[in-house]
Every structure is written in structure tokens, then in C-alpha cells.
Amino acid sequence: MTELTLVQAVNRGLAEAMRSDPDVLILGEDIGVNGGVFRATEGLFKEFGESRVIDTPLSETGIVGTAIGMALYGLKPIAEIQFLDFIYPAFDQIVSELAKMRYRSGGQFPCHVVIRAPYGGGIKGGLYHSQSTEAYFCHTAGLKVAIPSTPADAKGLLLTAVHDEDPVIFLEPKRIYRAVTGEVPDGDHRVPFGSARVVREGSDVSLFAYGAMVPPTVEAADLLVKEGIRAEVIDPRTLVPLDEAAILASVEKTGRAVVVHEAARCCGFGGELAAILAEKAFYSLKAPIGRVTGYDTPFPYALEHLYLPNAETIAHAARSAVQAS
């Protein structure tokens, strides 16, 4: 075990993957000599050299397109997109190519690429360094979507992603890259996909949150305890595949659900979670399902503190659910 920040855990995960398998390589902008703009790849260029830590020209479609070609040839590329906000030039490669390659070739051409991207707000990044657009990728068949909220999960989910056989969109909550530290197992630590983490057990209301929304959701649970409300906090960790069993079990126990994400509300992942609960846990529900999300506006720079959910707004939604019945 080593005490690490989340971004350090990502770094250790990358190093572990590269040491254990010479087919693993990483590519992206400013990841080599510079060690990445968030330092996620620090030291890797020195250890593994320019043939495995590839500084690319400034082209996201080039990064993902070449990563796909490498994967088809048999390597295990990990592509870094500097900010999720800049992934759209590669959207065609991700959605039309990467996600569909295995399917459209009848299984002849599996294509395993991991795409890492820092996402989310709270860093004064404005419109183009703050967005949380995981739903685009969840909506596309053929992609897995992982979002860690702790250093141990960051390393464990990343190593599972690298050893998976399918494309993985790995979204890193940059707001808590350094804000949280935690014990991280050394070596080949893996956290399985499709296995939610019960962050906090409770009996009155279930709070679902992932990525950078987990800390304020735990904070909300702390506030609620003082009012005698015992909130359960569940982090799904991967949105695709989704641990529906854990989500349903929690709501069957508490009878109330609040879904939290910083992405805009319309067609956000919270809508999917709410629909699953309405279809499969309807008769367990004692109150309407609550959502605490970003607004359906572009991500504002000066007012990001009013755009992003926080412990108070999450606690408020949970309180409303409890008071409804």
C-alpha cells in the first residue's frame, strides 16, 4: 500500500501496465517530455522511451485513429485526450470506428483501445475545460465507460481497462486529481468492471454518484446524519457495464433514490438510472426519484460554483425524498 493522490494512482497504474506488458504504449499531446499537462504521465517517457510514450501532433482524430490501427495490429494503446472537452475531433473515430469494429467485422477485428481523458468542472476551466459528457459514450453500443472517484479505484479500474478486450473510455475527475489521497495497493491491483462500491451504508435514502461528485455526496450524507437521516452512498464506478443489481438492492432497501452528476440534466446518465429504477424498483419507491445535476446551460466560467451540485444541494434533494413519505 502507498498513500497517493488520484493522479499519482493513474500514473502508477500506467507504469504498472507498461512494465508488465511490452505491447502497452501510451500516446497523446504533451505526455512525453512534459509528463502530461496534469503530470499523469510524469516519468514514463524517461522509463519507457519515445517508442512507448509517444508525443503526437495536435490532432485528436489522429491520436484515436492511430491508436485504433495499433490495436488492430495487436498492440495495447492507451490514448490520452488532454481534456474531455477536446475529444470531439475524435468522436467519429470513437463512435463510428472503435465502438463498432468488433461488431461490424463479425468479430474478426477486435479493437481494444483505452482512451483516458480528464473531465469535469470545479477548476475554473470555463466552457472548454470543464464539461462532463460521459453520456455521449454510454449511449454508444460497444464502449465501456469507467469513472474512478478514489486513488485505489483509479489504479484498479485503469489496470482492468488495460487488460480488458473492449474499448474503454476512462474518465478522470480532474477536480479531485490532487484533492483526495488514499491508500493504493501496490502491483497489479485491479477493480472489476460492473461492480459498484458502497461508499457509505444507510437505510433511508440511496444517493448515487460517481467521479468528482462522490466527495460532496459523502459530505451530504454527513450533513444528513446530523438530522437523523441515514443515507446510503453508491458509486457505480463503471457506467457501462452498470451494476444494476447493487443499485436495485440499495433502493429496495431504502425506498428512495437521488441521482447526482455534474453533467447537464437533459439525457444525462441520471435519466438512465431513474428509468431503470422506475422500471425495476417502482414498487419499492416511497418517493419520486430525485436528480441533482448540472444545468442545461453551457458550462459557465464565473458561475461554476452555482452550476455544480454541492453537499447542500444534494442533502436538500435527499431531505425532500425522505420528507415526501
Partner 1 sequence: MASTASVAPDPQVPPTTDPFDLPKDQLLPAYRWMVLSRAIDERCLALQRQGRIGFYAPLMGQEAAQVGCALAVRPDDWMFPAYRELAVALTRGASLTSVLDQLMGNSSDLTKGRQMPNHFAFADQHYVSASSPIGTQITQAVGAAMAAQRRKDPIVTVAFFGDGATSSNDFHAGMNFAGVFRTPTIFLCQNNQWAISLPRAKQTRSKTLAEKADAYGFPGVVVDGTDVRAVYRAVAEARQRAVRGDGPTMIEAQVYRLGPHSTSDDPKRYRSDEEVAHWKERDPLTRLRGELLAAGAVDAAGDQKIWEDARAQVAAAIAESERIAPMAPDSMFGDVFSVPTPQLEEEQRSFDASDRPHGGAP
Task: Supply the residues annotated as catalytic.
Answer: 129
Nearer to partner 1, 168 or 321 (CB): 168
CB atoms within 10 A of CB 106: 7
CB atoms within 10 A of CB 154: 33
248 contributes a contact to partner 1 by CB under 8 A: no
Q: How many residues in total does the chain contain?
A: 325
Total residues binding partner 1 (CB under 8 A): 50
75 contributes a contact to partner 1 by CB under 8 A: yes
Nearer to partner 1, 111 or 233 (CB): 111
Q: In whole angstroms, how close is the CB of 210 to partner 1 at the nearest point?
A: 17
Side-chain-side CA neighbours of 205 within 13 Å: the count stands at 34
**H helix or E strand, kind and range, residue 257:** strand 257-264
141 contributes a contact to partner 1 by CB under 8 A: yes
65 contributes a contact to partner 1 by CB under 8 A: yes
Buried b (16+ CB within 10 A) or exposed e, 189-223: bbbebbebbebbebebbbbbbbbbbbbbbbebbeb
Q: Which range, of 48-56, 199-207, 248-256, 257-265, touches partner 1 by CB under 8 A?
A: 48-56
Out of 39, 100, 139, 163, which residue is the one contacting partner 1 (CB under 8 A)? 100
59 contributes a contact to partner 1 by CB under 8 A: yes
Residues 6 or more apart whose Cβ sits within 8 Å of residue 60: 81, 86, 87, 88, 89, 90
Alpha-carbon distance 237 to 250, whole Å? 15
25 contributes a contact to partner 1 by CB under 8 A: yes
Copy the grid coordinates of residue 98: 472503435
Q: In whole angstroms, how close is the CB of 106 to partner 1 at the nearest point?
A: 4
165 contributes a contact to partner 1 by CB under 8 A: yes
Q: In whole angstroms, how close is the CB of 111 to partner 1 at the nearest point?
A: 9
Alpha-carbon distance 75 to 154, whole Å? 22
Copy the grid coordinates of residue 106: 463479425
105 contributes a contact to partner 1 by CB under 8 A: yes
Nearer to partner 1, 107 or 228 (CB): 107
Q: Which range, of 149-157, 175-183, 241-249, 309-317, touches partner 1 by CB under 8 A?
A: 241-249
Q: Which range, of 2-10, 162-170, 213-221, 302-310, touches partner 1 by CB under 8 A?
A: 162-170
Contact predicate 99/141, CB 8 Å = yes
Alpha-carbon distance 215 to 217, whole Å? 5
**Which positions from 108 through 127 interact with partner 1, judged by CB under 8 A?**
108-110
Buried b (16+ CB within 10 A) or exposed e, 60-92: bbbbbbbbbebbbeebbbbbbbbbbbbbeebee
Out of 74, 226, 228, 297, which residue is the one contacting partner 1 (CB under 8 A)? 74
Query: Which residues of this protein are in contact with partner 1, per CB under 8 A?
Result: 25, 51-52, 54, 56-57, 59, 61-62, 64-75, 77, 89, 92-93, 96-97, 100-110, 141-142, 144, 164-166, 194, 240-242, 244-245
